[in-house]
A and B are shown apart, each in its own frame.
Chain A
Amino acid sequence: MKHAQKTLTVRTPEGISFPLPIATPISRFLALAVDLAVIYGAMTMLTVVLALFGLISTDLAGAFWLLASFLLALGYPIVMEWFWRGQTLGKRLLRLQVMDEQGLRLQFSQIVIRNLLRAVDGLPLFYLFGGVSAFLSMRGQRLGDLAANTIVVFHPKIPELDFDEIRPAKYNSFRDHPHLVARLRQGVTPAETGIILQALLRRDRIAPEARPALFVRLRAHLERKVRFPPEVVEGLSDEQYVRNALDALLK
């Protein structure tokens, strides 16, 4: 069963609305694991450096280690989220970002509170309180997020739009029949256009054996909307037919 992703829709006074997809507890847990690994790595390096410093003064080296481990554990997420606008290394790798619940600017106090409250979210073990809270919350908030008015959103990867992929390779014969192009535009919904566009953009990622069947189906679907004269489509492959149709739809 497909898991419905939680989203928060912000509606601006200008009448624009934009959805913010909420990060799942699993992705947040993975980001946390990356951050813990970073802290552990930094501590290991620090231990080696301080072991050398200990040759001069074991007392100072020990004190520095205690302070550094405390500051790293508590300060790493605070400093990173402040300077990287709501992201730590783990969050950046997993495309997550802490945001204000109302879409406003993230404040330093919000970052501090959500991170200090990890002390409770982490109880009794492995972020059980925080995880349960995030699962139950409509906005996927752990207790620290609830107190700080923050949410963690997921930014899906947006591939660069490659216009060459969707451009017809040669002269588009469909354009010689503007009334049919107009009827095509009338008959094809924006959602259908989106499917055609995505099929062409992702053609190289579709298995070679599945690709012809896909374009056959798309062509058949388009032909049910509008039928171009046989001399126009003669010799056009199914994929080329779909490219021409999309070109006609978009321009």
Chain B
Amino acid sequence: MSGFRCQGRGGPQAAGLIGQTPDTCSMIINIQKFVENGKPAWEELEALLARRERGPEKRLSLEEIRRFHYLYDRVSSDLAKVATFASEKETRRYLETLVARAYGQIHEIRETPHRFRPARWFFVVFPRTFRRHLRAFALASAVTAAGCLFGAAAMALDPDSKDVLLPSADHIMRDPADRVADEERVLTDRLNGRKTQGAAFYMTHNSRVAVATLALGVTWGIGTLVALFANGVMVGAITLDYARAGQTDFLVGWLLPHGSVEIPAILLAGQAGFVLASALIGWGRNISLRARMRQVSRDLVTLIFGVVVLLVWAGIVEAYLSQYHKPAIPYSLKIVFGCVELALVIVFLAWSGRLAGRSARLVGEVTTPPANPGAPP
């Protein structure tokens, strides 16, 4: 091959002189010629890789795939040659980088990214991902419920524990009856000119909480468990505080419109945290940690982005509806609104995307040949 020659140690002349055998052959490369000959193929592969990396969803034609494979083989072969020659660090590193990039493309067996369709993702992929990890959601719900019971019990047994159990916000720490009386006396729009800011604050704050709940799954789920339990403690303590003060209507009217979406969203974040923890622990799964993480990584991303979408809606409702009370908006109206939202969330998570999944399975049954054509169905 041009640009590259293999001789007995010291070249044919030396081999003749001292009788070296061909298997002790040391590769000597004419670097300049080697680079000049290889460069067109290297640059072609580099350009092809850049195109692939810019638009991974674009499909290559059969001819392009063949060319890509040829170039990968060619550059790999050049790397093998240059790797035997210790002096050529620069060329070797360049070729290593090229081969590394091409290797990632050639040997990738995971699904190629396709064009993102937001509506399909939200109404089909997200709820189906949720249903695939129902046990993790059940665990998140159970932990939150346990936290609620603990918070309510602590408030019932020791009312002074309110300072410890609840965040130190003024409206929460006040006596519920006093707060309700003050809120119901207001006849003007006290949040005028602050509602959009409020919505943005609720969206971002709750999203941060959701991300932290998911991320804490990396502590084998202990952090997620603590976060969900603490969240439950607050909800339980506030509920008992207002119920004992006889302000249940106000409480439900205040929390339900946004809570019917926000609380399930936080539970979904907890679900994602437990899915992460389960993949890290890997009980009963005889595959490597790397393989387990590959299995769940897309689901985690789908869940957390779905949670953020839900929290955007919850933030809008919390700023524009939840903070207004009787007489501006009757409690009954707010409670009905919250109940409708909750029903929609349940229906969405339980049924959305089922039809798409069934159609896909039917298409699969028609188009996929049976694994063993001779076997009985």
Contacts and interface: CB of A to CB of B under 8 A. Distances in A.
Contacts of B203: 67, 70
B368 interface: no
Interface stretch (A28-36, A156-164, A232-240): A156-164
Interface in A81-107: 85, 99-107
Interface stretch (A16-24, A41-49, A214-222): A16-24
Interface in A149-173: 149, 155-156, 158-161, 163
A38 interface: no
A185 interface: yes
Interface string B1-24: 000000001111110011010000
A67 B18 contact: no
B197 A66 contact: yes
Closest 5 CB pairs of A and B: A186-B10, A182-B14, A194-B87, A63-B200, A62-B197
A55 to B, nearest CB: 14
B3 to A, nearest CB: 11
Given A18-B100, A149-B293, A116 B86 contact: no
Contact of B90 (A20, A74, A155, A158): A158
B116 to A, nearest CB: 9
Given A161-B35, A186-B18, A10 B100 contact: yes
A107 B297 contact: yes
Chain B interface residue bracket vs A: 35 or more
A197 B88 CA distance: 9
Interface stretch (B73-81, B120-128, B259-267): B73-81
24 contacts: A12-B99, A18-B100, A59-B197, A66-B201, A67-B203, A70-B204, A70-B207, A74-B211, A85-B53, A99-B104, A101-B290, A104-B107, A116-B304, A119-B211, A147-B218, A149-B290, A161-B31, A163-B31, A181-B13, A183-B10, A183-B17, A190-B26, A190-B87, A250-B29
Interface in B265-323: 276, 280, 290, 293-294, 297-298, 300-301, 304
Given A67-B203, A182-B13, A59 B196 contact: yes
A109 interface: yes
A113 B301 CA distance: 7
Nearest to A201: B90
Interface of A: 10, 12-16, 18-20, 58-60, 62-64, 66-67, 69-70, 74, 85, 99-110, 112-113, 116-120, 143-144, 146-149, 155-156, 158-161, 163, 178-179, 181-187, 189-191, 193-194, 196-198, 249-251
Contact of A10 (B13, B14, B93, B103): B103
A101 B100 CA distance: 12
Interface of B: 9-14, 17-18, 20, 26, 28-32, 35, 53, 56, 73, 76, 79-80, 84-91, 93-94, 96-97, 99-100, 103-105, 107-108, 110, 113, 193-197, 199-201, 203-204, 207-208, 211-212, 214-216, 218-219, 223, 276, 280, 290, 293-294, 297-298, 300-301, 304
A59 B105 CA distance: 48
Contacts of B276: 147
B94 A108 contact: no
Contact of B103 (A103, A148, A187): A103
A18 B96 contact: yes
B298 A109 contact: yes
Contacts of A100: 104
A67 B200 contact: yes
A182 B10 contact: yes
A165 B276 CA distance: 55
A16 B31 CA distance: 20
A191 B29 CA distance: 14
Contact of B211 (A58, A116, A161): A116
A27 B219 CA distance: 26
A60 to B, nearest CB: 6
A179 B201 contact: no
Nearest to B15: A182
Contacts of A193: 85-87
Given A16-B80, A67-B203, A105 B94 contact: no
